[in-house]
Amino acid sequence: MDYLRLVLFVCGVLLGVQVPAFVDQYGKALAAHTQEAKQSLAEFQRDADRFFGGDIDRLIAHYKQNPDAVFNAGGESIETIYQRYRLLSEAFAEFNQSTYGGFDQLVMSPLPEIRDQVWQNFSHTIMLDGRAIAIGLLLGFFISILSELCLVLCGKCCHKAYRLVSPKRHRLN
């Protein structure tokens, strides 16, 4: 039984030290997508700087108000790129807000397509910094406590079931 407890603790630690690596890879993917969206928007931002005082919303409105269907559709495409850039840059700023901002974002409000992309391409690495060690030890401890609790509850349930099923011994007086 002691070996089982030790194995569960070690498995918890190994799982726990993967968490910061996943968060790190999520942050790198988020940064890459943000940069890509910024580059996609750069030419349109230059036009907005040149003709609309830097206001890209006015550029989009100008495209959408044009009676030409091609220009109108172009305005919608620019708006889609712009909205994507805003979403990514806000998420990236939130991710970098604090030391544990990335953990918070991944738990509370991740961008699903980026999280899924990172999950599919996750390279299992071990980052041995303070956060990884702390999370690893906490997860190992938590799994050990949880498994111990399950074993104790199972033992008590089995003991009660045995007492109900086993024949009662009667004393002869």
* Residue 73, in any domain of the structure: yes
Number of structural domains (the chain) is: 1
Is residue 91 situated within a structural domain?
yes
Report yes or no on 104 lying in a domain.
yes
Instruction: List the domain range (segments joined by +) for residue 129.
Output: 2-165
Is residue 172 in some structural domain? no
Residues 122-128: contacts with CB within 8 Å, 24+ apart? Answer: 122/21, 122/22, 122/25, 123/25, 124/18, 124/21, 125/18, 125/21, 126/17, 126/18, 126/21, 127/17, 127/20, 127/21, 127/24, 128/17
Q: What is the pLDDT of residues 92-151, one digit of tens each?
A: 999 999 888 898 998 899 999 999 999 999 988 877 788 888 888 898 889 888 888 888
Q: Is residue 173 part of a domain?
A: no
**From the DSSP assignment, how many helices (H) and strands (E) are in the chain?**
6, 0
- pTM of the full structure: 0.75
